[in-house]
Amino acid sequence: MVITVDQGRCASSGQCVLSAPQVFAQDEEDGRVVLLDEQATGQQVRRAATGCPTQAIRLA
Amino acid sequence: MRPIPTDRGDCPFDPPTGMADEALGKVRLATGDDVWLVARHHLVRQVLADTRFSSELDGGLRGVPLHAVRPEPGMFIQMDPPEHTRLRRMLTGRFTVQRMNRLRPQIEQIVADQLDVLEQQPRPADLVANFALPIPSLVICELLGVPYEDRQEFQHAAALLVDLTGSPEELEAGMLRLGEYLLELIARKRAEPGEGLIDELLDSGLRDEELVGIAVVSLIAGHETTANMLGLGTLALLQHPEQLALVRQSPETARTAVDELLRYLSIIDTVMLRRASIDLELDGQVIPEGDFVSCSLASANRDPALLERPGELDVTRPKTPHVAFGFGPHQCLGQNLARLEMEIAYPALFRRLPKLRLAVPLSEVPFKKDVAVYGVHRLEVEW
């Protein structure tokens, strides 16, 4: 499984950082999602993808 | 046409009875406007994620005060992309999880000071006036960079604005007074920049009127909402003493409790409307262009498809993808600040006053009915 993020869609809500802080961070300038580990798996990652308000996180 | 339900029945924490009777159907608002009511979690998410359900309402509704006034410059909650995106992106970096966590020491201090104030009150004391309302107001001062000596003035102007019992003229007067104060504050900050959101935005190319709009949105969005969560959330925990004990004892539970209280109480339910910008399909029906759509966030948050035992408060639940902060590109910008305020304030209150209890029967607590954000007007407590 590989995680991809779409910064164009991201609304900087920070939900993914709350769900999986080891996998996602927020850009210091505009708060948009920064992917720290595209190979990460697990329930936290799935929760981050489901919880994203703009569906900017894809698992494939 | 079925009227939108407003009666909460026996439990004051439950959504109005009948709100979720239909997944999607038309209802009549108290103002006489007919709107589509969406009352399932997946449908609410679908509407709020799709900006073809526009946030630019262009008037069109009879009596909703927030929407009846023409959007002011900088009021990005009533804008669509790309203008919404432009303004929001200027702010999002200031509201990240990391940035909010840096405010923790200041918020802890504000909460501790306010607990001192509460403790000095004659008993029974009103938890709303002495705890729930001042904390978010002072936190917003901290965030925006309102100087300490101005805080009385700011809090007074803010109180006029969030007191929705006032007449439209009083609301207008409150808005004017706050706008004047903010313009004057911005002028002072241009001469001598300090620390805060306003100071950081001085060189962003925003006009002063837009800066005022942003400050006012921050205030409206962050004041009464968090205040009502602190008041109503405390009441909900007082009614569930075994869960209150968990919040007091465990910092981890204090964190999960915040999202569960947000979900369970859903103090903002059907307030934020959308308008179909073209004919749009939803749940097999066509929402014709120009029709208004109201999402019941409370119904979505108690949808059995979202979680088990939806009607139960369980502060140990893992965080659910609730929509208490909305969903989509307009999802609450200040949600991580709100979470932090609650995560600090609830356990601090229950630790400082371990014998905290309601001073009146639940039936005598004055609940906020018929206003945009649900909560309690007063909460008389003893300890």
- List of chain B residues whose C-beta atoms are within 8 Å of the C-beta of residue A54: 49, 328-329, 331
Q: Are B336 and A50 an interchain contact pair (Cβ–Cβ within 8 Å)?
A: no
Residue position matching structure tokens 């006034």 = B69
Q: Reply yes or no on whether the pLDDT at B163 is more than 80.
A: no
Q: Between B357 and B369, name the one with better pLDDT.
A: B357
| CA distances, B171 to each of B165, B174, B262 (Å) | 9, 5, 27
Q: Is A44 in the B-facing interface, judged by CB distances under 8 Å? A: no
Digit-coded pLDDT (tens) for B267-310: 999 988 999 999 999 999 999 999 999 999 999 999 999 999 99
ipTM: 0.89
Tokens encoding B191? 């001469």
Q: Is A54 in the B-facing interface, judged by CB distances under 8 Å? A: yes
> What was the pLDDT predicted at B96?
93
Strand partners, B292: B275
Q: Reply yes or no on whether the pLDDT at B205 is more than 50.
A: yes
Q: Are A53 and B329 an interchain contact pair (Cβ–Cβ within 8 Å)?
A: yes
Task: Out of B136-140, B219-223, B354-358, pick the least confident.
Answer: B219-223
pLDDT band at B61 (very low <50, low <70, confident <90, very high): low
Q: Reply yes or no on whether the pLDDT at B371 is more than 80.
A: no
Q: Are B319 and A32 an interchain contact pair (Cβ–Cβ within 8 Å)?
A: no
* Terminal alpha carbon distance of chain B: 48
**What's the rounded Cα separation, in Å, for the pair A21 and A15?**
10
Nearest CA-CA distance, residue A32 and chain B, Å:
8
Nearest CA-CA distance, residue A57 and chain B, Å:
13
Task: Out of A7-11, B44-48, B258-262, B276-280, pick the least confident.
Answer: A7-11
Q: Which of A7, A12, A45 is the mutation pick for testing B, counting most B CBs within 10 A?
A: A12
> What was the pLDDT predicted at B66?
43
> What was the pLDDT predicted at B166?
65
pTM of the model: 0.92
**B208-222 and B83-92 helices cross at what angle (nearest 10)?**
70
